[in-house]
């Protein structure tokens, strides 16, 4: 795409939760936006880190690794990277909008995951619009 993309308009173009939309690509990475509310699912990406930027609202990520379990809370404007292989469970009790960088083809529920609830879209990203 050779035109600027307004992220607010991109987010306004869909209503599905936990269903990322691809807004652009950088090299072999998708730039995805998503509306989120409630809990995602415990999962891990074995071969890639996962970058999150909170565009609106508050977003939390529970993390589980060999050192135990902890959580980080990200207010609007915050970024966080979940390292490859770390189990994590995103959530947004009050709702949020996020931007993610992931290699193209990365499944939204990772390589290893708990049962996927109906409100979570297991996808490699959906086209915008």
- CATH for 15: 2.60.120.10
pLDDT at 1 exceeding the cut of 70 = no
The pLDDT assigned to 16 comes to 96
Q: Where are the alpha helices (DSSP H) in the chain?
A: 7-12
CA-CA distance, 97 to 92, in Å (whole number)? 9
Look at residue 23 and tell me if it is in a domain.
Answer: yes
Q: Which range of residues forms the domain containing residue 78?
A: 7-127
pLDDT at 110 exceeding the cut of 60 = yes
Look at residue 60 and tell me if it is in a domain.
Answer: yes
Look at residue 1 and tell me if it is in a domain.
Answer: no
Look at residue 45 and tell me if it is in a domain.
Answer: yes
In total, how many domains does the chain have? 1
pLDDT in tens, 33-83: 999 999 999 999 999 999 999 999 999 999 998 889 999 999 999 999 999
Measure Cα distances from 115 to 9, 23, 58, 120, 126 in Å. 32, 28, 25, 10, 21
């Amino acid at each position: 795409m050779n035109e600027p993309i307004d992220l607010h308009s991109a987010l306004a173009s869909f209503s599905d939760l936990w269903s990322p939309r691809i807004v652009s690509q950088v090299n072999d990475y998708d730039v995805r936006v998503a509306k989120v509310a409630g809990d995602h699912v415990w999962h891990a990406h074995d071969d890639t880190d996962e970058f999150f930027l909170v565009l609106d609202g508050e977003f939390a990520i529970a993390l589980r690794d060999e050192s135990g379990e902890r959580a980080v809370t990200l207010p609007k404007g915050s970024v966080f990277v979940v390292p490859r292989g770390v189990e994590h469970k995103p959530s947004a009790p009050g709702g949020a909008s996020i931007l993610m960088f992931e290699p193209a083809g990365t499944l939204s529920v990772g390589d290893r995951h708990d049962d996927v609830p109906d409100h979570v879209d297991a996808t490699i990203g959906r086209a915008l619009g």
